[in-house]
Amino acid sequence: MTARAHTAQQTWPAPAKLNLFLHITGQRPDGYHDLQTLFQILDWGDELHFNVNDSGKITRSCNIEGIPESEDICVRAAKLLQDRCHVAKGVHIDLQKNIPMGAGLGGGSSDAATVLVALNKLWSCGQSQQQLAEMGLELGADVPVFVHGHSALAQGRGEKLQAVSLTPRYYLLVFPGFAVSTAQVFQHPGLKRDSKPIDMASAGLQPGRNDCEAVVMEMHPQLKTLAQAISSWGTVRMSGTGSTLFLSFADKKAAIGAASELKCRYNVRPVEGVDCSPLLKVLERV
Ligand code: C5P
pLDDT of 1 > 60? The answer is no
Residue 144: phi and psi, rounded to 5, are -55, -40
Mean pLDDT of the chain: 95
pLDDT category, 5, cuts 50, 70, 90? very low
Amino acid identity of residue 1, one-letter, is M
CA distances to 140, 173, 223, 254 from 261, in Å: 36, 13, 19, 11
pLDDT of 2 > 50? The answer is no
Q: What integer pLDDT is reported at residue 250 of this predicted model? A: 96
Residue nearest to atom 21 of ligand 1 (CA): 157
Range 245-249, long-range pairs (CB < 8 A, 24+ positions): 245/173, 245/174, 245/176, 246/18, 246/171, 246/172, 246/173, 246/174, 247/171, 247/172, 247/174, 248/20, 248/169, 248/170, 248/171, 248/207, 249/169, 249/170, 249/171, 249/172
18-49 pLDDT, tens digit per residue, is 999 999 999 999 999 999 999 999 999 999 99
Q: What integer pLDDT is reported at residue 67 of this predicted model? A: 87
Lowest mean pLDDT among 29-38, 62-71, 142-151, 191-200: 62-71
The answer to whether residue 142 is catalytic is yes
Percent of the chain with pLDDT strictly greater than 90: 95
Expressed in angstroms and rounded, the spacing between residue 170 Cα and the centre of ligand 1 is 28
Q: What are the residue boundaries of the structural domains of the chain, listed by start?
A: 1-286
Distance CA 118, CA 221 (A): 40
- 168, 174, 177, 183 alpha-carbon torsion, rounded to 10°: -50
Expressed in angstroms and rounded, the spacing between residue 259 Cα and the centre of ligand 1 is 32
**For helices 129-139 and 73-84, what crossing angle results, to 10°?**
130
More confident residue, 217 or 65: 217
On whether the CB atoms of residues 185 and 215 are closer than 8 A, the answer is yes
Amino acid identity of residue 28, one-letter, is R
pLDDT of 3 > 90? The answer is no
Q: How far is CA 85 from the centre of its chain?
A: 25
Q: What angle do CA 125, 131, 137 make, to 5 degrees?
A: 120
- pTM higher than 0.85, yes or no? yes
Quickly name the fold that domain 1-286 has: Ribosomal Protein S5; domain 2 (3.30.230)
Neighbouring CB atoms inside 10 A of 54's CB total: 8
Percent of the chain with pLDDT strictly greater than 70: 97
- 125, 126, 129, 132 alpha-carbon torsion, rounded to 10°: -30
Distance CA 96, CA 117 (A): 17
On whether the CB atoms of residues 122 and 7 are closer than 8 A, the answer is yes
Distance CA 129, CA 250 (A): 32
Catalytic-role residue among 34, 72, 142, 211? 142
Instruction: Please compute the mean of the pLDDT values over residues 214-238 and round it to a whole number.
Output: 97
Q: What integer pLDDT is reported at residue 223 of this predicted model? A: 98
Expressed in angstroms and rounded, the spacing between residue 141 Cα and the centre of ligand 1 is 6
Protein residues whose CB sits closer than 6 Å to any atom of ligand 1: 32-33, 35, 140-142, 157-158, 182-183, 186
Q: What angle do CA 230, 254, 275 make, to 5 degrees?
A: 100
126-176 pLDDT, tens digit per residue, is 999 999 999 999 999 999 999 999 999 999 999 999 999 999 999 999 999
Expressed in angstroms and rounded, the spacing between residue 257 Cα and the centre of ligand 1 is 36
242-269 pLDDT, tens digit per residue, is 999 999 999 999 999 999 999 999 999 9
On whether the CB atoms of residues 146 and 17 are closer than 8 A, the answer is yes
Q: Are strands 90-96 and 33-53 parallel, antiparallel or unpaired?
A: antiparallel
The answer to whether residue 57 is catalytic is no
